[in-house]
Structure 1
Amino acid sequence: MLDYLIVFTSSLLAATIAPFYSEVVLAAVLTRQPDAALLLWLLASIGNTLGAIVNWWLGKYLLHYRHKRWFPIKEKQLVKAQAGFQRFGVWSLLLSWAPIGGDALTFIAGIMKVQLLPFTLLVFIGKAARYAVVIWLADTLLL
Structure 2
Amino acid sequence: MEFLIEYGYIGVFIAAFLAATILPFSSEVVLTGVLLAGASYWPCMIAATLGNFLGGMSCYWLGMLGKIEWIEKYLKLDPQKVYKVQDWIKDKGSWMGFFVFLPGIGDFIAVALGFLRANVWIVAISMFLGKAIRYWIWMEFVFKVQSFI
With normalisation by structure 2, the TM-score equals 0.78
Residue 53 of structure 2 corresponds to 49
AA at the equivalent of 1:26: L
5 Å-filtered alignment, 1:66-105, equals 66=70, 75=75, 83=85, 86=88, 89-105=93-109
Instruction: Report the secondary structure of 1:100's partner residue.
Output: coil
Residue 133 of structure 1 corresponds to 137
Residue 19 of structure 1 corresponds to 24
With normalisation by structure 1, the TM-score equals 0.81
Kept after mapping to 2: 8 A contact 1:14/1:22? yes
Distance 1:59-1:28 versus aligned 2 partners, 3 A rule: same
Cα distance in 2, alignment partners of residues 47 and 90 from structure 1: 21
Pick one of 124, 127, 139 that aligns with 2:128: 124
Cα distance in 2, alignment partners of residues 3 and 51 from structure 1: 18
Q: How much has 1:127 moved relative to structure 2?
A: 0.4
Q: How much has 1:33 moved relative to structure 2?
A: 2.1
Q: Which moved more, 1:113-122 or 1:45-54?
A: 113-122
Q: How much has 1:66 moved relative to structure 2?
A: 3.5
Cα distance in 2, alignment partners of residues 92 and 119 from structure 1: 7
Kept after mapping to 1: 8 A contact 2:96/2:123? no
User: Across the two proteins, how many residue pairs are aligned to each other?
Assistant: 134
Q: How much has 1:83 moved relative to structure 2?
A: 4.3
Provide the identity percentage. 28
Distance 1:42-1:85 versus aligned 2 partners, 3 A rule: farther
Residue 62 of structure 2 corresponds to 58
